[in-house]
């Protein structure tokens, strides 16, 4: 199986979906042992020839409790799964195709599963279609065995089997043939051969359209001769009229020269035909009136709908412009916000670095920090501090005098002493500032 898979991977080069084709083909080969892959030339109906992958062999079906193998071939197109597989019934040299609603005389298979494949191509696959074929072939097998030694028809007038009877040696869908004068045993033993899966050899499978078959080894009961039917009426539309049973020595009655319709009363027939024609004409006119009414309604509604749709389209266009402008502004705002975020992160980083640097420095005495670089500057700091202290003392002496906490004589004495001392300190401050080259602000 691995060698088959390797070969299968190697031949899928031209396919559009190689993995899907390989997966579906491998699944079919695993589930149906009677199928095998090959590559062969396929000729389309327009004459084109392409080399496609073909799954050929047999699929098993159950017909009347017995398993039979039906020979088929499924061609996989290059565009699979977009296109369904092309399937044929491939009868052997001893088989013929029985035409039906799913199989034509050439063996090509038709089914709604293939017709509606494109509507759900992703879910459709070859395995599911093969199982569908098993179901429809189990109800109506698509092949039957060729007749072995058919007897030539006699020279008697052409007769036909009764309605609902089917000749077992004639495929469904073929043109009617005269009922042959065949041997009764050959007629009763006519059957269809398939390949049974259990015995792996050709067996005789009864015609599915027959009601019963004789058991093996038993002599079938005598088959009564079918009633004779003769062709009468117009060409292309034969009317079958049963003739009364006669012995073989009695010659058949002559074929009537006129069609069956000629036996009817001409006037009654023409009256019925005219009545039917009148009803059809009345129905046709009613349908036309209904269609005209519907057309007028549509013609009246379409302009209003068009106007409404144009207005909606205009509003949508304006909204599109507004939305585009809003998106542009939001983009700019987003850019600005992003720049501010980056700047803030950079400043936070610098601040964190400064804080870390300050924390790493040793503690400093305040008295050492606030001081001059020379003795003169230190003297200037002390004189200025004493000057401000004298100002504070004079202020509180005035407050005490106002509150009558101190006498006037004591107030004057203290003010005179502090004023004298402040004058001397300010004179010294001025002299030091002039000597140091500082601006005089006092």
Per-residue confidence (pLDDT) for residue 273, from 0 to 100: 77
Q: Which of 149, 150, 135, 143 has the alpha carbon at shortest distance from 194?
A: 143
Report the C-alpha gap between 230 and 241 in whole angstroms: 6
**Residues near 157 by Cβ (< 8 Å), separated by ≥ 6?**
230, 252, 255
Provide the β-strand partners of residue 360: none
Residue among 204, 35, 201 nearest 131 (CA): 35
Both structure tokens of 387: 């000057």
- What is the full per-residue pLDDT of the chain (442 aa) written as tens digits? 788 888 988 888 889 998 999 999 999 999 999 999 999 899 988 888 999 999 999 999 988 888 888 999 999 999 998 999 999 999 988 888 988 889 998 899 999 999 999 888 888 899 999 999 999 999 888 988 887 765 544 434 444 344 333 343 333 333 333 333 333 333 333 333 333 333 333 333 334 333 333 333 333 333 334 433 333 333 333 333 333 343 334 444 444 444 433 444 556 667 777 888 888 899 999 999 999 999 998 888 888 889 889 999 999 999 999 999 999 999 999 999 999 999 999 999 999 999 998 888 887 776 666 666 788 888 888 888 899 999 999 999 999 999 988 898 999 999 999 999 999 999 998 888 888 777 765 5
DSSP code, position 88:
E
- The confidence score (pLDDT) of residue 374 equals 80
| The token pair that represents 334 in the structure block | 């987003």
For residue 295 the two structure tokens come to 């057309």
Write down the pLDDT at residue 441: 58
Alpha helices (runs of H) in 116-265, residue ranges in sequence order: 126-139, 184-188
Distance of CA 376 to the CA centre of its chain: 97
Place of tokens 């699929």: 59
* Angstrom distance (rounded) from CA 442 to CA 440: 6
Q: What is the pTM of this model?
A: 0.37
């Amino acid at each position: 199986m691995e060698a088959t898979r390797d070969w299968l991977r190697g031949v899928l080069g031209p396919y559009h979906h190689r993995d899907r084709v390989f997966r579906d083909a491998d699944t079919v080969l695993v589930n149906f042992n009677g199928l095998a892959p090959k590559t062969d030339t396929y000729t389309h109906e327009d004459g084109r020839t392409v080399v496609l992958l073909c799954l050929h062999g047999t699929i098993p079906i159950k017909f009347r409790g017995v398993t039979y193998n039906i020979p088929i071939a499924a061609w996989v197109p290059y565009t699979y799964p977009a296109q369904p597989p092309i399937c044929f019934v491939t009868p052997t040299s001893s088989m013929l195709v029985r035409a039906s609603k799913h199989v034509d005389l050439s063996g090509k298979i038709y089914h709604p599963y293939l017709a509606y494949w494109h509507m759900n191509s992703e879910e459709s696959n070859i395995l599911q279609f093969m199982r569908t074929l098993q179901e429809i072939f189990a109800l109506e097998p698509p092949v039957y065995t060729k007749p072995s030694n058919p007897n030539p028809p006699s020279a008697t007038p052409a007769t036909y089997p009764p309605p609902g009877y089917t000749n077992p040696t004639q495929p469904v869908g073929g043109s009617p043939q005269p009922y042959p004068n065949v041997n009764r045993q050959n007629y009763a033993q006519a059957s269809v051969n398939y390949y049974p899966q259990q015995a792996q050899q050709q067996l005789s499978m009864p015609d599915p359209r027959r009601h019963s078959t004789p058991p093996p080894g038993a002599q079938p009961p005598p088959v009564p001769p079918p009633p004779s039917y003769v062709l009468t009426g117009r060409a292309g539309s034969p009317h079958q009229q049963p003739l009364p049973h006669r012995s073989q020595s009695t010659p058949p009655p002559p074929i009537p020269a006129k069609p069956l319709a000629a036996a009817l009363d001409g006037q009654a027939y023409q009256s019925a035909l005219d009545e039917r024609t009148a009803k059809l004409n009345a129905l046709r006119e009613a349908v036309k009136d209904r269609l005209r009414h519907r057309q007028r309604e549509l013609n009246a509604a379409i302009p209003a709908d068009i106007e409404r749709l144009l207005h909606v389209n205009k509003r949508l266009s304006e909204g599109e412009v507004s939305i585009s402008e809003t998106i542009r502004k939001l983009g700019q705002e987003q850019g600005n916000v992003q720049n501010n975020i980056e700047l803030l992160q950079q400043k936070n980083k610098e601040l964190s670095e400064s804080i870390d640097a300050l924390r790493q420095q040793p503690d400093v005495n305040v008295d050492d920090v606030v001081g001059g670089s020379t003795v003169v500057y230190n003297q200037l700091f002390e004189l200025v501090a004493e000057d401000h202290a004298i100002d504070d003392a004079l202020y509180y002496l005035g407050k005490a005098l106002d509150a009558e906490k101190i006498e006037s004589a004591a107030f004057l004495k203290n003010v005179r002493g502090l004023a004298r001392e402040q004058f001397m300190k300010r004179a010294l401050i001025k002299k030091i500032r002039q000597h140091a080259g500082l601006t005089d602000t006092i």
